[in-house]
Structure 1
Amino acid sequence: MSVSVADVIAALDAAYPRELAESWDAVGLVCGDPAEPADRVLVCVDPVAATVDEAVERGARLIVAHHPLLLRGVHGVAADSAKGSLVHRMIREGIALFCAHTNADSANPGVSDALAAALGLTVLRPLAPHAGDAATGIGRIGELPEPEPFARFVERVGAALPSTAPGVYGAGDPDRPIRTVAVSGGAGDGYLAAATEAGVDAYVTADLRHHPAGEHLEQRGPAPALVGVTHWASEWPWCGQAAEVIRAAGNVEVHVSTRCTDPWNVRANGSTK
């Protein structure tokens, strides 16, 4: 029996309830007909030209993306604008677009659970739990099977996540034993204080800014060592998790995009991603 766009949406809504989304977020169906078949689905982090190209090449009828295409309010989607051109192309090609953003961040399991699993962590609890529900929330706190030096842990992160031009960088004593770890997929320096309060040995997140990171490391008392990764790399493991949710919806072929949509592509030494 054919799986429809609505069937896939129902499975995703059950796994990533929309009520968990932040008030400013834009999640759900962006374009497409819920009644149309979705026998082939592409899962990605970013709904951009590269992933729309891939969807067309693979004959996908639905793109499931983590990041919203139209996060801010818009008054039109003219085809001569970057995002409008994507909307027009998807409609012409018969491709629907569905986005699960901060609801997927907070769900259990969600984005940070996928990141924790990629790093070999056993999840203990959310980093910043939702009020009234200790099982959901932003980020996760987990632990390694055995302690390992911080330098080796940074290498672990680099080996676990897809390669990007900026790579993985750490801030801390290379010999510090690391056992408990906080992770937050996406931009997470707003949770530096939460990671410190949790008493973890290290914190892995993306988009670490100079001043918040520096002030964190200079504070009195113990502070977690920091591991910085790119935004796309930190959230890419979720694609595999979401793909399993979609497969459970019925007879549907699901592809996880491996195209790097991280914007940074050239290093100072001249290498490219």
Structure 2
Amino acid sequence: MPALSEVIAALDALWPPERAEEWDAVGTVCGDPGAPVRRVLFAVDPVQEVADEAVRLGADLLVTHHPLYLRGTTTVAATTFKGRVVHTLIRNSVALHVAHTNADRADPGVSDALAGALDLRITGPLVPDPSDPEGRRGLGRICELDEPETLADLAGRAAARLPATAQGIRVAGEPGRVIRTVAVCGGSGDSLFADVRRAGADAYLTADLRHHPASEAREHALHSGRGPALLDAAHWATEWPWTEQAAAQLDEISDRHGWDLRTHVSRTVTDPWTAHAASADPSTDIPGAPN
């Protein structure tokens, strides 16, 4: 049975904390380095519902993708919702460890898991890590489809393969457009439009696309005759496949070391949006507007 410090060392080898962005907050949030670890729960968000799930499961370690405290704080009082998470974990001897942008850049990382969920064939990183001589690490992935398919079919594939959310998949582009290459980036990806265009991808699947960057990308495609169609999924949905990949990686390490760890993946939906009301056909005029 490994100590927490041994498991954390293995996780840091998978996702070195020094590869995280400077603004990020990764690593161990709470936990006794000498405490034994038998069960590990993987999740995207360290919210109260997930902390309670870890307690019910009897987990000794909770590994999340998103940080609990991304910015500094002066209190962990249980009167705040994040403080309640800390109190719940410590009171029940559950350690918390975070792998965020260091897991985004890893090989395999968050975007590898996203591509794998859609059965896309990865050809390389979208934004290569200059410190990686093999050119395999970095942000996002460039992928190919085994057979060309329409944008509508690709959107349907994403909707069917990713966890269900209220948002579903938003699409910008002609439904019948033929797609051969796809750029993917788990989590917020509208800062990478220039890289997607440079890669020449036919479509870009990511999350949290804001109006102005998406509008500019669409106009660029319309007026230049090239540029990606856009598929915008829920942030949580694009990152959840990583939890299964990460659990499998720790399983392999456990088998190699004879640790006999039990890993679990949270199925709790922590996407903040809970419902979706469909509007009228967006191709029609605004109801009631003058002609």
TM over 0.5: yes
1:244 maps to what in 2?
248
- 1:4 to partner: Cα distance: 2.1
Q: Which has the higher contact order (CA 8 A, sep 6+)?
A: 1
Q: How does 1:38-57 map to 2 (within 5 A)?
A: 38-57=37-56
- 1:3 to partner: Cα distance: 2.1
2:35 maps to what in 1?
36
Q: Which residue identity lines up with residue 102 of structure 2 in the other structure?
A: N
- 1:18 to partner: Cα distance: 1.3
1:180 maps to what in 2?
181
2-structure distance, mates of 1:144, 1:120: 8
2-structure distance, mates of 1:71, 1:103: 14
Give the one of 257, 262, 266 matched to 1:253: 262
Please state whether the residue corresponding to 2:136 is helix, strand or coil. Answer: strand
Q: TM-score under structure 1 normalisation?
A: 0.96
2-structure distance, mates of 1:79, 1:12: 29
Q: Which moved more, 1:246-255 or 1:137-146?
A: 246-255
2:289 maps to what in 1?
none
Encode CA deviations 1:146-177: one digit per residue, 9 max, x unaligned.
10011001001111100001111211111111
Q: Which residue identity lines up with residue 48 of structure 1 in the other structure?
A: V
- 1:226 to partner: Cα distance: 0.4
2-structure distance, mates of 1:26, 1:206: 21
Q: Which moved more, 1:199-208 or 1:239-248?
A: 239-248
1:70 maps to what in 2?
69
User: Structure 2 unaligned runs (5+)?
Assistant: 279-291
1:97 maps to what in 2?
96
2:235 maps to what in 1?
231
Q: TM-score under structure 2 normalisation?
A: 0.90
Please state whether the residue corresponding to 2:215 is helix, strand or coil. Answer: helix
1:14 maps to what in 2?
13
Is 1:264 the counterpart of 2:268? The answer is no
Is the CA contact 1:206–1:230 (under 8 Å) kept in the aligned structure 2? yes
Please state whether the residue corresponding to 1:165 is helix, strand or coil. Answer: coil
Q: Which residue identity lines up with residue 236 of structure 2 in the other structure?
A: W
2-structure distance, mates of 1:99, 1:183: 22
- 1:68 to partner: Cα distance: 0.5
Encode CA deviations 1:189-223: one digit per residue, 9 max, x unaligned.
00011101110010000001111101100013201
2-structure distance, mates of 1:268, 1:156: 22
2:155 maps to what in 1?
154
Is the CA contact 2:48–2:84 (under 8 Å) kept in the aligned structure 1? no
- 1:258 to partner: Cα distance: 0.6
Q: Which residue identity lines up with residue 12 of structure 2 in the other structure?
A: D
1-structure distance, mates of 2:249, 2:34: 19
2-structure distance, mates of 1:266, 1:150: 25
Is 1:138 the counterpart of 2:139? The answer is yes
Is the CA contact 1:30–1:99 (under 8 Å) kept in the aligned structure 2? yes
Please state whether the residue corresponding to 1:135 is helix, strand or coil. Answer: coil
- 1:7 to partner: Cα distance: 2.1
Q: Which is higher, the Rg of structure 1 or of structure 2?
A: 2
Identity %: 54
Q: Which moved more, 1:182-191 or 1:168-177?
A: 168-177
- 1:255 to partner: Cα distance: 0.7
2-structure distance, mates of 1:178, 1:50: 39
2-structure distance, mates of 1:257, 1:214: 35
Q: Which residue identity lines up with residue 46 of structure 1 in the other structure?
A: D
Please state whether the residue corresponding to 1:236 is helix, strand or coil. Answer: helix
Please state whether the residue corresponding to 2:274 is helix, strand or coil. Answer: coil
Give aligned pairs, total: 269
Is the CA contact 1:169–1:229 (under 8 Å) kept in the aligned structure 2? yes
